[in-house]
Every structure is written in C-alpha cells, then in structure tokens.
C-alpha cells in the first residue's frame, strides 16, 4: 500500500497529497498523523490537497476526522489548495467539512497557523517565502 509522506517543519506537520487516495491509504494517513502529532509535539497540521482531482464523501470525512483527532491532541488543522471544481462538487454533494479550516494555499494556511498559535515553523517559513530570512551582510 502506498503511504502519504508526512513532513515535519518546526511545529507544523505538512502533508501534500499528490495521488488519488484509496480508502485504506486515507485511513492510514489519519493514523500516521495522530502518531506523529504525539511523537513530535506538533501544534499544527497543514494538508495540501491541490493534487486531488476529487473529494468524495469518504475522503471528506477523513479530513474532518483528521482535524477532530488533531484537535483532541492539541493541534490545529488547515486544509489548503482545494481546486474550484472540487469545491463546487462538494457543495452539490451536500458534504460539510464540519469544523475543518480551509485556506486557498500553503502560504495562507501557514499564516493562519502562525496567527492562531504563534507557531515557530510557520513564522520561519513565512519569512523564507518573503525572502526575509537570508542573512544580511550589512546587518
């Protein structure tokens, strides 16, 4: 079975889903994330679904369960990168993602985590993305 890689960036766990998920792979991701939140003490989870061509009721429920599990483990989840056609379809399907927070892209998702939790990784990454982290010779 394929597994979705989970990257640790400071206090944030970053998941980028790049292939169509079998149901079992989605459930394994949910379990992996719970383990890694506990093992790493991560305070934020960022799930990038820009690679997903569809979100059906099963995978949608897995996202809601991931966010609920993370919340119980004192971590906040943001799902980012949903394609417009996927968003339109979810509304017709009648699927509510419950309390799952969403943002348009990784950068905005990290900003939410930084604002709400003051996360170190989010601050570092935001600095990198704005080009402010390079050492400045002139001080």
Q: Where does this chain bind other proteins (CB under 8 A)?
A: 20-24, 53-58, 60-61, 83-86, 88-89, 92-95
Q: How far is the CB of 116 from other proteins (least distance, A)?
A: 28
Q: How far is the CB of 130 from other proteins (least distance, A)?
A: 32
Q: List Cβ neighbours of 60 (8 Å cut-off, separation of 6 or more).
A: 90, 93, 95, 97
Q: How far is the CB of 11 from other proteins (least distance, A)?
A: 32
Residue closer to other proteins (CB basis): 98 or 118? 98
Residue closer to other proteins (CB basis): 20 or 35? 20
Count CB atoms within 10 A of the CB of residue 55: 22
Count CB atoms within 10 A of the CB of residue 107: 14
Q: How far is the CB of 101 from other proteins (least distance, A)?
A: 20
Q: What is the DSSP string of 11-73?
A: TEEEEE--SPPPHHHHHHHHHHHHHHHHHHT--EEEEE-TT-S---HHHHHHHHHHHHHHHHT
Residue closer to other proteins (CB basis): 1 or 137? 1
Residue closer to other proteins (CB basis): 24 or 35? 24
Give the Cα separation of 107 and 126 in Å (integer): 7
């Amino acid at each position: 079975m394929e597994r979705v890689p989970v990257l640790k960036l400071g206090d944030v766990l970053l998941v980028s889903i790049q292939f169509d998920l079998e149901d079992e792979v989605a459930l394994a991701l949910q379990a992996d994330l719970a383990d890694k939140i506990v093992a790493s003490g991560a305070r934020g989870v960022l799930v990038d679904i820009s690679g997903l061509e569809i979100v059906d009721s099963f995978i949608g429920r897995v996202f809601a369960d991931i966010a609920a599990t993370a919340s119980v483990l004192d971590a906040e989840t943001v799902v980012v990168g949903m394609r417009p056609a996927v968003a339109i379809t979810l509304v017709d399907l009648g699927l509510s993602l419950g309390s799952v927070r969403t943002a348009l892209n990784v950068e905005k998702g990290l900003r939410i985590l930084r604002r709400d939790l003051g996360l170190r990784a989010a601050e570092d990454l935001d600095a990198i993305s704005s080009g402010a982290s390079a050492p400045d010779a002139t001080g």
